Structure 1
């Protein structure tokens, strides 16, 4: 079984599956081009491998309208064109394939096309998407909450120094094929919070005190990186300038990741949450 549900930026949906919009062929759901990067020294045979970067994904859906009455065909054509409108920008493609469900963001490459019927009793159509982020994702976001921490850092101090009591940590398993970005939300009151991936050694820390009604929001997605402070659901301040100089907007590596939360001072209400979606190179 394969079924495509497309939801545009206005929240309108259209389903391609069985009658009246049948999928004839579907390409691009598995294959995606990769750019192999390398460098070459003078007089070197071949070159030296550096990295492989996946290109944008292109999905083409070839289908047919199974209705034969002209009025019904015209109505369904209008629905396909209305929902699959490239002027609306990015939408969400949900693919159900053999019991597995994955999603990806895509924008229509063109207005859907409808070849001439001629002797064919059914109206065929072609819908094509470009997916700038080539990775398929689980539709459900996974999240973990970390309890607040109480720090011990005071002036003057004697070595060794205890900068904070580590109260809670969590083990996160990334089931995907590649690293995946995270969204972190830290609720105040808290002073100088830090979230660390102990598996990789990377951490994110800001040098600022958050009040009880402020939330620090961090997104490590390459296409949407942000470090912001929210008050009552609205952004009140960009927080890039408060980042520790050695902070790294880390991602979860495939497999096990040990995550911990540290702060110089906080209360039991200062909860940190970390959320992510597993990513896959194909389906």
Structure 2
């Protein structure tokens, strides 16, 4: 069974599927999305020099039929519901949840037009009305509907050296593996609770780190977001971007396994660091 649920910023939603009153007949844009090449061409150069590829915006169109069987007014009520949910003048974006068999993914979309209701012969009647929805996903990746998270745990071990004396150097730290099961790198939200001095959170897989030059008390909460265009650093909900160390990189989780760790000039074992993310996919 396939269904699409659209939920707007006001919480109003409508579900389209294989049953009345909103039947889905055709959906495009679920998997395909245009690729944009980043290249450079020098004078007299044959072809160009390739640097990178990025995905363009995803356009999803949904075609279907509203079918009612009871009162004549019911068809108009269903049309109104679609217009209320898919309203380009309301706060954007709209959440689109796609369900097919055991797969459930979601994506955020903006509305290109109001719902289209054709008036041609065969397109509408007393108890049915064809419709089309056109949605633009400026961020083209599908995501899992539930976020994953990992909390780094306290480690304590020792390094043995080849000396006659039983010399051991203690090793302490917080470390955890995090697996990005998606197709592309994905941003994270970092939550740092507890006492710390100049807390640093590292992604050893990429060699990148985020450091905040600030002391935190046992009741303080530091949160960091690394999503492109939505980066933030907050302490107890207040902006703390000015405490960010200039060497910091807002790293993301690379596809596959990532080794994460954190360090602090305060060795408190009560401090907890949680990293949260959603896997991202290039198609359904």
The alignment's TM-score, normalised by the length of structure 1, stands at: 0.89
In proportion to residue count, which structure has more strand? 2
Q: What is the distance in 1 between the residues matched to 2:248 and 2:171?
A: 20
- Cα deviation for residue 119 of structure 1 reads 3.8
Alpha-carbon distance change, 229 to 243 in structure 1, aligned in 2, over 3 angstroms:
same
Structure-2 residue corresponding to 1:75: 77
Whether the 8 Å contact between 1:135 and 1:279 is mirrored in structure 2 is yes
Alpha-carbon distance change, 49 to 12 in structure 1, aligned in 2, over 3 angstroms:
same
Please provide the CA RMSD for this pair. 1.8
Whether the 8 Å contact between 1:149 and 1:267 is mirrored in structure 2 is no
Gaps of 5+ in 1: 151-163
Q: Is 1:103 paired with 2:106?
A: yes
Residues 133-176 of structure 1, C-alpha deviation per residue, up to 9 Å, x if partnerless?
100001110001124699xxxxxxxxxxxxx9533211111111
Structure-1 residue corresponding to 2:195: 189
Alpha-carbon distance change, 102 to 25 in structure 1, aligned in 2, over 3 angstroms:
same
- Cα deviation for residue 271 of structure 1 reads 0.8
Whether the 8 Å contact between 1:148 and 1:267 is mirrored in structure 2 is no
Shifted more, 103-112 versus 64-73: the winner is 64-73
Q: What is the distance in 2 between the residues matched to 1:171 and 1:224?
A: 25
Structure-1 residue corresponding to 2:160: none
- Cα deviation for residue 88 of structure 1 reads 2.2
Alpha-carbon distance change, 148 to 186 in structure 1, aligned in 2, over 3 angstroms:
farther
Number of matched residues?
A: 265
Gaps of 5+ in 2: 157-169
Residues 198-209 of structure 1: matches in 2 within 5 Å? 198-209=204-215
